[in-house]
Amino acid sequence: MLKKTSFHIVFISLMLINIVQAQIVNEIKVIINKRINPVPPSMWGIFFEDINFAADGGIYAELIKNRSFSFNDPMMGWKWIKMKNGDGEGRLYNSGDISQLNKRFVRIQSTKDKGAFGLSNEGFRGIGLKKDAEYRLSLTARNNNSNNSTNLFIELLDTTGLVLAENMITGITKDWKQYEIILKPSITYAHARLNVLVKSKDAVEIQTVSLFPVDTWKKRKNGLRSDLVQLLADIKPGFVRFPGGCIVEGRELANRYQWKKTVGETAERELIINRWNTEFKHRPAPDYFQSFGLGFYEYFLLAEDIGAEPLPILNCGMACQYNTGELISLEHLEPYIQDALDLIEFANGSTSSKWGKLRATMGHPKPFNLKMMGIGNEQWGSQYIERFKLFSSILKTKHPEIKLITSAGPGPDGERFTYLWDELVKLNADFVDEHYYQPPAWFLKNAGRYDSYPRSGPKVFAGEYAAHSKGNTDPTSRNNWESALAEAAFMTGLERNCDVVQMCSYAPLLAHKDAWQWNPDLIWFDNLRAVPTPNYFVQKLFSSNKGTYTIPILKDNSVITGKDSIYASATIDEITKDLILKLVNVSQRAIQHKFSFTGGSFKSQIADMEVLKNADVTAFNSFSNPESLYIEIQKIKVTGRSLMLTIDGNSVNVLRIKLQ
Ligand code: AHR
C-alpha cells in the first residue's frame, strides 16, 4: 500500500519573486548553514504494547487461541463437536506432574464406528487464511490406549462448515510426541475454524495445538506476522519501546510483566491473563491472555531486524496506580533491581555469563547492544521516586553506560507532573518520559511547548502521545485527519527542540479491528489485512525524513508555531545532502508562501514533496476505504534561492531539496 503506484504527480511552477511580489503575504526564511541541533538517530521510534490484541491474536502469528488449554477457563476458544452421526466423550486432564509448567491435556474419545468426534477452535475472532498459502499445524499427542497407532483428522472450515483445507496426522503412538503437517486453504477466508477429529472407535490425547502461517516475518518458524512487521519497518523507527505501558505494571504485582518468564523455550513460558482483559467494562475481552510467544528475546530481535534501538521498560516494584497501586516494600525491592541487572546481561553479556548464554542458546550469540531501559511506566508520587533512587544507585554504579528512562506520570502537567520533574532534576535523571493523550487543540496549542524547556538537566522522552478527538474507549473515536494533522503540527515542535526531546513515540501502536480496548491506535488490522492510519503516515513522514541537523526556519524572525495556521521545522541531511522542510497547514485554505534561502545553494531541480492532505478533517482510513489518506509525491520545480510555494489546506508536506 505504501508503494502506491498511482502517485499523483503535480508540477508546480515556481516564479521569480519580483513577478508575484504583490501577492505575497507570507515570507519564510530558511538559513541553510546554521546548524542548531543534531537530530538524534533514535528521535522517532515506536511503542509496542500488548493491548488491542497486538501480540497474541496480532503480530505474533499463532492462529490458535488457548493452544495449550492453559487459560483460566481451559476450554475457552474450544468446543467439543460431533460430525456425521459420530459421538464420543471429551475430558480435560491434569497430569499432576509438578515438573511440568502446563499440566493440562484433553482426551478425545470417539465412541462410534461412524462419523467423527473431536474439538474445534475458533481462533482469535476467527482464523485468517490465504488461498494456497501454507499453514503449519503442530500438535503434541499420544494415544495412550493401545499398541496400535491412531490417526487425527485436521480440517480448516468456513462458518458454514465447508472444508477449506484438510490433512491427516498418522501414526500417533502411546508416548507424547510432536507432529507437524501442512494445510493449504483453497480460498482466502478471514474467519475460519480448526477441527481436530478422531474417526471410528479410538482415542487420542492432545496437549498443544498450534497453527502458524509458514510465511512469517523473515520466514522464522512460528514467528511474527510479516505484513505488520513490514509496516513497522517502513516507519524506519529509531527505537522500539516494549513491552508497554500499563502491561509492565500489572493490575496487581502478581500480574506484572516479568521478562525472565518470557524467554527460553516457548512452551516453558507461563501464560498469564492480559491486564487489558476486562479493564474497560464496555470493551471486555475475557479471552485476552499473554502466551509470551512474543517475549523479550523476540522483542530484541524485532528491534534489531528493523534497525531500531531496543528500549525495554521494567516494573519498578509498583502495580498500576489506576488499579491496585500495590507496592513492593523498599527492603524487598532487590529482586526487581536484579531483574534489571540480569536483563542487561541477557542483552549485552558474554555468552559465558548465565543470561548471555541463554541469549546465545536462543540463537543470538552477538549482544543486542542495549543502551537504555525504562524504570517503571507512568508511575507517580514519592513512592516512585523512592524506588527509582534504589534502582538508579545500583544501575548507575554497575552500568553507567545504560541510560535510564524515568516517569513524569500520566499527564503533561499538574501537581504530579511538577513534583516528578522537580525530583528527577535533583536526581540528575537521564530521561523523563512524558505522556499526553489530549484533544487535537492541545497539540496545536503546545507546538511550542519545548521551546522554553531548560536546555540542561534530563532529556525528554515523549513516550506516549496521541491526539484524541474523543475518549479512548469511545467506539466512534477515530484516527481521523484532524488528529494526525494536530500531531504533525506538534511534531514540528518536537523536531525543532530535539536537543531536549530526544525520543518520541505515538501510542498505542496496533489494534485488532474486532478486539480493541483502546482507540485511536497507529495501525489497525484484522485477521488478514492491515490499515495504516493518517497518524501512521505522519510518523513515517517525520521518521524517514529526519535529517541530521535542525536549521532555522523562521517567519517574522520567529519559529513557526501556528501563526496563520502554519507549523514548520527544517533539517539538513548531511549524508544525503538534502534540505528537508516540514510544513503543516491546519487551516482549510491554501496559503501561498515565499521561501527565501540563505547560507547555502542548490541547483535548479525538480524536488520531491511528500504530501498528506484531505480537505475533510473527519476523514480516516477504514477497511472499506483504506486510502482516504496516503502519501502522494508532488514534483516541485525549484530554481534560485527562493521559491513560491502554495501549502494546501489541511496538509502535511515534506519537501526535500538537493543541496550543492
Ligand atoms: O497506551 C495505552 C496506555 O496508556 C498505556 O498502557 C499506559 O502507559 C497509558 O496510560
Q: Was domain 22-34+550-658 assigned CATH 3.30.70.260? A: no
Atom of ligand 1 nearest to the CA of 508: 1
pLDDT at position 2: 37
pLDDT over threshold 50, residue 23: no
pLDDT at position 352: 98
Q: What is the mean pLDDT of residues 468-476?
A: 85
pLDDT over threshold 90, residue 632: yes
pLDDT at position 296: 98
Mean pLDDT score across all residues of the chain: 94
Atom of ligand 1 nearest to the CA of 244: 6
Q: What is the mean pLDDT of residues 62-79?
A: 98
Task: CATH number for 78-213: choose from 3.50.50.60, 1.10.3720.10, 2.60.120.260, 3.40.640.10.
Answer: 2.60.120.260
Give 465 Cα–ligand 1 centroid separation in angstroms.
9
Residue whose CA is at the smallest distance from ligand 1 atom 8:
245
pLDDT at position 25: 63
pLDDT band at 146 (very low <50, low <70, confident <90, very high): low
Residue whose CA is at the smallest distance from ligand 1 atom 9:
245
Q: What is the mean pLDDT of residues 483-493?
A: 98
Q: Which of 47, 53, 246 is the pocket-test mutation for ligand 1 (most atoms within 8 Å of CB)? A: 246
pLDDT over threshold 90, residue 660: no
Give 225 Cα–ligand 1 centroid separation in angstroms.
23
Give ligand 1 pocket residues (Cβ under 6 A): 49, 51, 244-246, 377-378, 410, 464, 507-508, 518
Residue whose CA is at the smallest distance from ligand 1 atom 2:
508
Is-catalytic flag, 378?
yes
> Could you give the percent of the chain with pLDDT greater than 90?
91
For residue range 24-60, what is the model confidence (pLDDT) as tens digits? 468 999 999 999 999 999 999 999 999 999 999 999 9
- Catalytic: which of 49, 122, 378, 610? 378
Residue 120: what residue type?
A: S
Q: Which of 50, 251, 378, 384 is the pocket-test mutation for ligand 1 (most atoms within 8 Å of CB)? A: 378
Atom of ligand 1 nearest to the CA of 247: 6
Q: What long-range pairs does 258-265 form, CB within 8 A, spacing at least 24?
A: 258/315, 258/339, 259/295, 259/296, 259/312, 259/314, 259/339, 259/343, 259/346, 260/339, 260/342, 261/292, 262/292, 262/295, 262/296, 262/297, 263/295, 263/296, 263/297, 263/346, 263/358, 263/362, 264/358, 264/362
Give 538 Cα–ligand 1 centroid separation in angstroms.
21
pLDDT over threshold 50, residue 5: no
Q: What is the mean pLDDT of residues 607-624?
A: 97
pLDDT over threshold 90, residue 7: no
pLDDT band at 472 (very low <50, low <70, confident <90, very high): confident
Pick the most confident of 93-102, 168-177, 342-351: 342-351
Q: String of b and e for 494-515 (b: at least 16 CB within 10 Å)? A: bbbbbbbbbbbbbbbbbbbbeb
Q: What is the mean pLDDT of residues 110-125?
A: 96
- Distance between CA atoms of residues 452 and 493, nearest Å: 11
pLDDT over threshold 70, residue 236: yes
Give 516 Cα–ligand 1 centroid separation in angstroms.
14
Higher pLDDT, 300 or 642: 300
- Distance between CA atoms of residues 642 and 7, nearest Å: 26
pLDDT over threshold 90, residue 431: yes
Q: Where are the domains of the chain?
A: 22-34+550-658, 46-61+217-546, 78-213
Residue whose CA is at the smallest distance from ligand 1 atom 3:
245
Atom of ligand 1 nearest to the CA of 464: 1
pLDDT at position 14: 37
Q: What is the mean pLDDT of residues 472-481?
A: 88
From the list 409, 407, 387, 391, the residue with the least C-alpha distance to 399 is 391
Assigned CATH for 46-61+217-546: 3.20.20.80
Residue whose CA is at the smallest distance from ligand 1 atom 5:
245
Atom of ligand 1 nearest to the CA of 518: 2
pLDDT over threshold 70, residue 182: yes
Atom of ligand 1 nearest to the CA of 49: 6
Q: Which of 435, 505, 522 is the pocket-test mutation for ligand 1 (most atoms within 8 Å of CB)? A: 435
Cell 467423527 found at: 116
Q: What is the mean pLDDT of residues 404-421?
A: 98
pLDDT at position 470: 85
pLDDT at position 346: 99
CA–CA–CA angle 63, 65, 71 (5° rounding): 155
For residue range 350-406, what is the model confidence (pLDDT) as tens digits? 999 999 999 999 999 999 999 999 999 999 999 999 999 999 999 999 999 999 999
Write phi, then psi, for 460 (nearest 5 degrees).
-100, 135
- Distance between CA atoms of residues 196 and 210, nearest Å: 11
Q: Which of 48, 255, 277, 437 is the pocket-test mutation for ligand 1 (most atoms within 8 Å of CB)? A: 437
Give 63 Cα–ligand 1 centroid separation in angstroms.
26
Q: What is the mean pLDDT of residues 609-629?
A: 96
Cell 475430558 found at: 91
For residue range 494-510, what is the model confidence (pLDDT) as tens digits? 999 999 999 999 999 99
Residue whose CA is at the smallest distance from ligand 1 atom 6:
245
pLDDT over threshold 70, residue 416: yes
